[in-house]
Amino acid sequence: GLHLAKFRLALVQLHVSKIKADNLGRAQKIVKEAAGQGAKVVVLPECFNSPYGTGFFAEYAEKIPGESTQVLSEAAKECGVYLVGGSIPEEDGGKLYNTCSIFGPDGKLLVKHRKIHLFDVDVPGKIRFQESETLSPGNSLSMFETPFCKVGVGICYDIRFAELAQIYAKKGCQLLVYPGAFNMTTGPAHWELLQRGRAVDNQVYVAAASPARDESASYVAWGHSSVVSPWGEVIAKAGPEESVVYADIDLQYLADMRQQIPITTQRRNDLYSVNSVQEG
């Protein structure tokens, strides 16, 4: 159908505390604020309703629908926005998932993305984290339609996998959103690099929403939520503290970009391809 060529995107870099009700209340308040500034798509950070850590997931986990997604649904409807609900620990059938729920302006759940690549890393002396100790991986790709463009969704570690972004782009997504919480080791090294890489490789807009940095937390998030253009340019970026980042997504610019450097039509599909094995 006919798409509108420009829209405002907001990333909410929320300060996450140990009190779930506070996190939900603050998120709701800031989503409203963002909508008031003209945002049509609003993105919350990974693990926005609870502290991030294997010791917290079970305690804060909820069913979907549940308390947190109810708040998201109401906020989306009240503000008339597409709300990418960061992620929450989800409990389903005795398993835990790191899950992002997306709601439309009518408050309806559009899609639910369960993080497909679990964050299991060990950098000696720097960071060790094993999400798989408590979480199970999701098994599907997640996209949703807006009046502006199709959007692909990943969570944090998912951004390291170029194939996911390539498939989303191939399926027509022009914006990729990644709620994520990189840390003080991987953040300075790779956070921006990965966003710029995914954007320039696929000629899409890439947005990554982090929680605000809390030096007293057991897992210290890097912050610096940002939006990158299809040219690979960082067009909006937060500092480490709680804030909202705004960017105007210009789909005509994206189209021009693809015409000027037409890699999409120059691919050698006779030599290589990246495909999804399973239709999500």
- Point out the residues that are catalytic: 46, 115, 156
Instruction: Determine the Cα–Cα distance for residues 187 and 157; give it in Å rounded to an integer.
Output: 12
Q: Give the contacts of 52 (CB within 8 A, at least 6 positions apart).
A: 16, 46, 181, 211, 217, 219, 221
Q: CB of 140 within 8 A of CB of 89?
A: no
Q: What beta strand segments (E) does the chain contain? A: 6-13, 39-43, 82-84, 88-92, 95-103, 109-114, 120-123, 127-130, 142-145, 150-153, 173-179, 205-209, 226-228, 234-237, 243-250
What is the total residue count of the chain?
Answer: 280
DSSP 183: B
DSSP 188: I
CB atoms within 10 A of CB 11: 31
- In DSSP notation, 21-46 reads HHHHHHHHHHHHHHHHTTEEEEEPPT
